[in-house]
Amino acid sequence: MTENLLINFLFLLIPVIVYLVFFEGRKQVHNQTFFVFLFSVCSMILCMTYPIKLDLGFIFDLRYIPFIVASLYGGFKIALPLYAVLNVYRFFIGTEGFIVSLEFSTIILMLIPFWSKTFLRQPVKRRILIAVGMSFFTMTFFLFTLTTFYSRLTQEFWEIVSNVILIHVIGTFIIIVLLEKILANIRRREHYLNSERSMVISELAASVSHEIRNPLTVTNGFLQLLDQSKGLNDEQKRYIHLSLKELNRAERIVSDFLSLAKPQAENMVYSNLKEESEYVNSVMEPFASLHQVTLHYRFENTLYNHYDKNQIQQCLINLYKNGIESMKGMGGTLFIEVFEKGKEIVIQIKDNGIGMSREQVLQMGKPYYSTKKEGTGLGMVMVYNTINKIGGKIEVDSALGKGTTFHITIPTQNKNKKA
């Protein structure tokens, strides 16, 4: 028994080991759903091929651990094909006990994936407890249904039942903890890379932008003086106006770069975002009306934090602008909510515009990447950079044709009191 039990545990650990060896260092793994499905299938098939044989003719394996875990993390998208593979292979290796296995796996399919979205929104410790609890209750239910096949239930039988439940609970706990550790490492690495990128961009913006702005200002001034000259014909004046227009555009790009620089001491405030968000909402109302977009603004926050007032305002303006422009020509409503959740300030900006694909969402915040033809990509870099400086996080939920939601969380320490 011990030998087969350890082998079954090894089968559960193989996907984790394979990921750590071959995929852990990669920036992005394509077809993640496929790999989760493939690893889970391998674990289930191996566990069923080498079951654990006990006394009383009792045979079990750990196939339901990868099935439950994958269903919680992947939902029906992964649970359905796993369900099919599990039962087809179970029928292939022997029809005895197949009906019981089919019924139990069907119950899991009907219950566990429904919890997937709720499960993924929970903090790590609660996710571990939920997964372990589900493993405990499902296996307890399964084993108690088996009591109907035994005419006499001995003490030995109940000891076996207790051991099987304990093994499943421990196995689920180990797998979930390892998975959460891997996910935490991925998030930590991404945060580190974003911090490094933000630091480099800030230093570059501060040093280069000022040097570029000085000659632009001088050139702009001389062109304006030249434009006032009476000896110019209409064509020459047209050339000067075009030059001034392009210089102004160049200065706007430089201003975008300057917004990426480090926060300025004179602009630092300790606020609950009320003044800044209301100001931005008022400023963006004409722009929204121009594109037939209605702004729906709600503020319910009593938490305070330190930040650069100008950078936060520009950050919100960029998000407003992107949301409104995504509904260009079709109209709609832009929902803006600022509220508190625990010790975090939450900013949620939702549009019902054209939306983005998963690949586009993954590129968000990278320098010079833009979904707009005329965009420079600096606007979203500035957004990610600003939120990163104050220790916040940005989550983007988007789908083509369904709109985009930016969910920003900013950590705080003090509540209801202004320093």
pLDDT at 119 over 80: yes
Give residue-wise pLDDT tens across range 33-70. Answer: 777 888 889 989 988 888 877 665 667 788 889 999 99
pTM beyond 0.85: the answer is: no
| Nearest-angstrom CA–CA distance, 112 and 134 | 8
Mean pLDDT of 10-24: 79
Look at residues 321, 298, 202, 329 and name the one whose alpha carbon lies nearest to residue 258.
202
Q: Quickly name the fold that domain 266-411 has.
A: Heat Shock Protein 90 (3.30.565)
Q: What pLDDT was estimated at residue 371?
A: 63
Mean pLDDT of 369-374: 60
54 or 355: which leads in pLDDT: 355
pLDDT at 21 over 80: no
Instruction: Please tell me what DSSP assigns to residue 415.
Output: B
How many percent of the chain have pLDDT more than 70? Answer: 82
DSSP assignment of 316-329, as one string?
HHHHHHHHHHTTTT
pLDDT at 31 over 70: no
Give residue-wise pLDDT tens across range 223-243. Answer: 888 888 877 888 888 888 888
Mean pLDDT of 99-115: 87
Q: What pLDDT was estimated at residue 216?
A: 80
- Position of tokens 């096949």? 149
Mean pLDDT of 210-219: 77
* Domain boundaries 2-193, corresponding CATH code: 1.10.1760
Instruction: Please tell me what DSSP assigns to residue 145.
Output: H
25 or 74: which leads in pLDDT: 74
Per-residue pLDDT band at 27 (split at 50, 70, 90) = low
| Nearest-angstrom CA–CA distance, 258 and 207 | 9
Q: What pLDDT was estimated at residue 389?
A: 81
Q: What's the whole-number average pLDDT of the chain?
A: 82
Per-residue pLDDT band at 419 (split at 50, 70, 90) = very low
Per-residue pLDDT band at 409 (split at 50, 70, 90) = very high
| Domain definitions of the chain by residue range | 2-193, 198-258, 266-411
Q: Report the DSSP beta bridge partners of residue 398.
A: 404
Asked which of 83-92, 257-266, 289-298, 379-388 is least confident by mean pLDDT, the reply is 257-266
Helix (H, G, I), strand (E, B) or coil at 154: coil
Q: What pLDDT was estimated at residue 262?
A: 58
Q: What pLDDT was estimated at residue 120?
A: 86
Give residue-wise pLDDT tens across range 152-200. Answer: 767 777 777 788 888 889 989 999 999 888 888 887 887 777 667 666 6
Q: What pLDDT was estimated at residue 299?
A: 94
334 or 372: which leads in pLDDT: 334
- Position of tokens 């651990």? 65
201 or 268: which leads in pLDDT: 268
Q: Which residues of 138-162 are buried (b: 16+ CB within 10 A; e: fewer)?
A: bbeebbeebeeeeeeeeeebeebbe
Mean pLDDT of 282-295: 90
| Nearest-angstrom CA–CA distance, 78 and 73 | 9
Give residue-wise pLDDT tens across range 198-214. Answer: 666 666 666 666 677 77
